[in-house]
Chain A
């Protein structure tokens, strides 16, 4: 489903990704952990073309995202992304946030898009918040709307970049619950997170990244309980 081959990425002189290889199968939930600055966000952003790689290739369902000829907008319609700071459109209601892309990009009729949006709001537990502006929502509610917005494009893959890191602790659970439901429905997910409990419980695989490489790639039980690499052990001893 996602194939990353020998990806290198630099910002100026700083090499952030130093040769990343990984394969993510359909319906798989892969959690990415690692210290700050290790390149986790950059990897996610390369996958949907928000950053351009310097070397290597990334394929999504056989389409080379890193090719200069790719229709990146078509690829992104299949890959939803959820950001740490939500990035909801503040000038639009939650309903409009969710329906904007389906209406403008896919040309879905407004009524149909709104029916889908209301269904999605119900799914993320906010059935009565359709005509509210983002400023009137709590952080946890914003993030759930952001997830609904991404799902409205009916993506095949969802990328999450620390979706709960900017939330107050009491709101983390509600967002993780929505993500867990999504995982159980069989969505292919890549989740950058500091929530080790979520990675262990929901993740099929955990990637530990450090200084631009994937140090360790293993099922959660193995990675958390029997880490093979010294760097992984060192990192886990600090966060667990």
Chain B
């Protein structure tokens, strides 16, 4: 604790903020990708076609059963370069997106299965196809159930994006590391990093609570 530490934080505060923005950017893009892909994987896992459901199951098992840190290195250094030239930022978004899709798929599946089976049957009995029944009847009911765990996943992912610092994406944790290595002010530097993560995650969870209340009264 020192005046020096306070000065370090104050003088570099804009760098912390840029880092926070990049963290948010990676999280938002990954969650966006994760939601679309996650819905698809969930539907695949629930498919009656064995082959398709096995792919869904395998996907979820892989991304939830192995560490994100390892996935990041595998994709950034190993797999993605086989297809195209990516910078660390793109690698980070793709890997985090693929990873969160695995978690979101399970959330979505639980949400769909929580909708009363009679809803699907009533829709089918009217002559809707399975896809129409999903789209117009089941999913619109599942999304309310899914929002709280989805917000939770959003927060978990936001914290996990700190791992992308290992592939040198200049997000919040990476900025912290840089600043710490030049200033040796661990409490001030990491304390600020913590505080910024906390402010962001708290805001998201408050936003989630608000959305949940809105939906409940609808």
Contact = CB atoms under 8 A, between A and B. Distances in A.
B126 A89 contact: no
B137 A48 contact: no
A50 B118 CA distance: 11
Interface in B30-46: none
Contact of A87 (B118, B128, B136): B118
A180 to B, nearest CB: 22
B126 A48 contact: no
Nearest to A48: B125
Contacts of B127: 73-74, 76-77, 101, 105, 153
B124 interface: yes
B132 interface: yes
Say what secondary structure dominates the interface of chain B: helix
B168 interface: no
B126 A76 contact: yes
B128 to A, nearest CB: 6
A149 B141 CA distance: 19
Interface stretch (A9-17, A78-86, A225-233): A78-86
A77 B126 CA distance: 6
B81 interface: no
B140 interface: yes
A69 interface: no
B160 interface: no
Interface in A110-150: 146, 149-150
Given A87-B118, A87-B119, A91-B140, A80 B125 contact: yes
A85 B118 contact: yes
Nearest to A45: B121
The size class of the interface chain A forms with chain B is 20 to 34
Contacts of A149: 126
A105 B121 contact: no
Contacts of A80: 125-126
B119 A89 contact: yes
Given A87-B116, A89-B119, A50 B125 contact: yes
A104 B121 contact: no
A104 B128 contact: yes
Contacts of A48: 125
A26 interface: no
A109 interface: no
A202 interface: no
Nearest to B121: A50
B122 interface: yes
Given A105-B126, A105-B128, A100 B121 contact: no
A90 interface: yes
B126 A90 contact: no
Contacts of A83: 118, 121-122
Nearest to A88: B122
A9 B126 CA distance: 23
Nearest to A81: B125
B183 interface: no
A73 B127 CA distance: 4
Interface in B108-159: 116, 118-119, 121-129, 132, 136-137, 140-141
State the 4 A-B residue pairs at the shortest beta-carbon distance, nearest first.
A77-B127, A87-B122, A87-B118, A101-B126
13 contacts: A73-B124, A76-B124, A76-B127, A87-B121, A91-B140, A91-B141, A100-B136, A100-B137, A104-B128, A104-B132, A104-B136, A105-B127, A150-B126
Given A48-B125, A85-B118, A100-B136, 17 more contacts: A50-B121, A73-B124, A73-B127, A76-B127, A79-B125, A80-B125, A80-B126, A83-B118, A83-B121, A87-B119, A88-B122, A89-B122, A89-B123, A90-B141, A91-B141, A101-B126, A105-B128
Interface of A: 48, 50, 73-74, 76-77, 79-81, 83, 85, 87-91, 100-101, 104-105, 146, 149-150, 153
Interface of B: 116, 118-119, 121-129, 132, 136-137, 140-141
